[in-house]
Amino acid sequence: MKVGVVTFPGSLDDVDAQRAVRIGGNEAVALWHGDHDLGGVDAVVLPGGFSYGDYLRCGAISRFSPVMTEVIAAAHRGMPVLGICNGFQILCESHLLPGALIRNDHRKFVCRDQRLRIEHTRTPWTSSYDEGAEVTLVLKNGEGGFVADEDTLDRLEGEGQVLARYLDVNPNGSLRDIAGIANERGNVVGLMPHPEHAVEDLTGAGTDGLGFFTSLTAAVFS
Amino acid sequence: MPRVVVDVMPKPEILDPQGKAVLGALPRLGFTGVTDVRQGKRFELELAGEITDETLEQVRLMAETLLSNPVIEDFVVHLPETEPSQVSAR
């Protein structure tokens, strides 16, 4: 599969995401924030970083970039879209995912190996995981507190859209320990921790993140 | 040049860590008696033409679309009040 990775001005983890896509067995296609088409890709990753300097609100300016118009339209047609960290913020600002991400409740940037439980595996990004799998991924954010109103949180839990939950500690004040969510259809996924930094033994906390990038292949052949 | 102001504030139920940081700093500086601080944003928009109901509606649309995130923030569109600096500045 061809997986597009969007680079915005201020993206940091786009090259790591491209590498993770390749290690996962797919072809990585570099997309630029000013692109008006998606170059025929089958899926899109919005990487972490500080797109547009986090000006106004994290993801608020990126959401209106030309490439996002295409990503939003494709997501509505069912294309798999994964937003990691800043990408998750962009997906919330785009209203492709409910809720929002606000400054960590303890007001400090957090950077740690974080244990998570994968709770939703019926998505093209998590189908390689066993439901309830406990994984360790790098978490690094200043504005990673997931918030939504009570009704939205109840709906996310009721519909099984909570993708992953923090274990051991809640690192940023996210309501109900939510680390990631999916849309109703399951094709759009947002995650605050970074699976693309956990795909090789050489660096990082291990290879627990690889499943996000092998799931696409598994989803196609299943 | 006609000017319109958009004030954006975090919704009351949303945690405001920046406001909390300011609240924590005030007593350390010897300022007492403040029980809560909420931090928001103020946008001042210079408009090309006269201010009409239509342009105000446009500004509301801007506020809803870009200047605020309605999931976590409330906004108010208004005309600039008497320059606050004339009241409060020394």
Question: Per-residue pLDDT tens for B62-73?
Answer: 999 999 999 999
Question: Per-residue pLDDT tens for A4-13?
Answer: 999 999 999 9
**Tokens standing for residue A114:** 């974080």
CA distance B27 to B66: 35
Q: Which residue has the higher pLDDT, A103 or A204?
A: A103
CA distance A26 to A213: 8
- The CATH code of the domain at B3-88 is 3.30.1280.10
Active site residue A196: yes
Contact A92 B71 (CB under 8 A): yes
Query: What residues of A are in contact with residue B66 (Cβ under 8 Å)?
Result: 56, 60, 64
Note the pLDDT of residue A218.
73
Residue B70, CB-side half-sphere exposure with 13 Å CA sphere: 9
Domain ranges of chain B: 3-88
Residue A191: give the domain boundaries. Answer: 2-221
CA distance A138 to A78: 28
Q: Is B21 on the interface with A (CB under 8 A)?
A: yes
Rg of the Cα atoms in chain B: 16
CA distance A42 to A35: 16
Q: What is the CATH number of the domain that holds A77?
A: 3.40.50.880
- Cross-chain CB nearest to B71 (options A100, A103, A145): A100
State the DSSP string of A8-42: -TTB-SHHHHHHHHHHTTSEEEEEETT-SS-TT-S
- Give yes or no for residue B82 having a pLDDT over 70: no
Whole-complex ipTM: 0.87
Q: Is A92 on the interface with B (CB under 8 A)?
A: yes
Note the pLDDT of residue A217.
81
Contact A86, A143 (CB under 8 A): no
Contact B90, B25 (CB under 8 A): no
- A173: closest chain B residue by CA: B15
- Give yes or no for residue B89 having a pLDDT over 60: no
Which entry of A70, A93, A143, A196 is annotated as an active-site residue?
A196
The neighbouring-strand residues paired with B10 are B73
Model pTM? 0.93
For β-strands A2-7 and A43-46, DSSP reports them as: parallel
- Give yes or no for residue A78 having a pLDDT over 90: yes
Note the pLDDT of residue A81.
98
* Helices A211-221 and A14-23: angle between axes, nearest 10 degrees: 50
Q: How far is CA B9 from CA A30, A91, B39, in A?
A: 37, 22, 7
Burial category of A156 from C-beta neighbours within 10 Å (exposed 0-12, middle 13-18, buried 19 and up): buried
Active site residue A197: no
Question: Per-residue pLDDT tens for A95-150?
Answer: 999 999 999 999 999 999 999 999 999 999 999 999 999 999 999 999 999 999 99
Question: Per-residue pLDDT tens for B9-38?
Answer: 999 999 999 999 999 999 999 999 999 999
Question: Per-residue pLDDT tens for A14-70?
Answer: 999 999 999 999 999 999 999 999 999 999 999 999 999 999 999 999 999 999 999
Contact A87, A103 (CB under 8 A): no
Query: How far, rounded to the nearest angstrom, does the alpha carbon of residue A160 sit from its chain's CA centroid?
Result: 17
For β-strands A178-182 and A188-191, DSSP reports them as: antiparallel
Question: Per-residue pLDDT tens for A146-165?
Answer: 999 999 999 999 999 999 99
Question: Where does the pLDDT of residue B74 fall: very low under 50, low under 70, confident under 90, or very high at 90 and above?
Answer: very high
- Give yes or no for residue B87 having a pLDDT over 50: no
Phi-psi region of A107 (alpha: psi -120 to 50; beta: other; left: phi over 0): left
- Give yes or no for residue A220 having a pLDDT over 70: no
Nearest Cα neighbor of B16 from A173, A105, A58, A192 is A105
- Give yes or no for residue B86 having a pLDDT over 50: no
Q: How many domains does chain A have?
A: 1
Note the pLDDT of residue A221.
52
Note the pLDDT of residue A69.
98
- Give yes or no for residue B43 having a pLDDT over 50: yes
- Give yes or no for residue A75 having a pLDDT over 60: yes
Residues 6+ apart with CB under 8 A from B77: B4, B5, B6, B56, B59, B60, B63
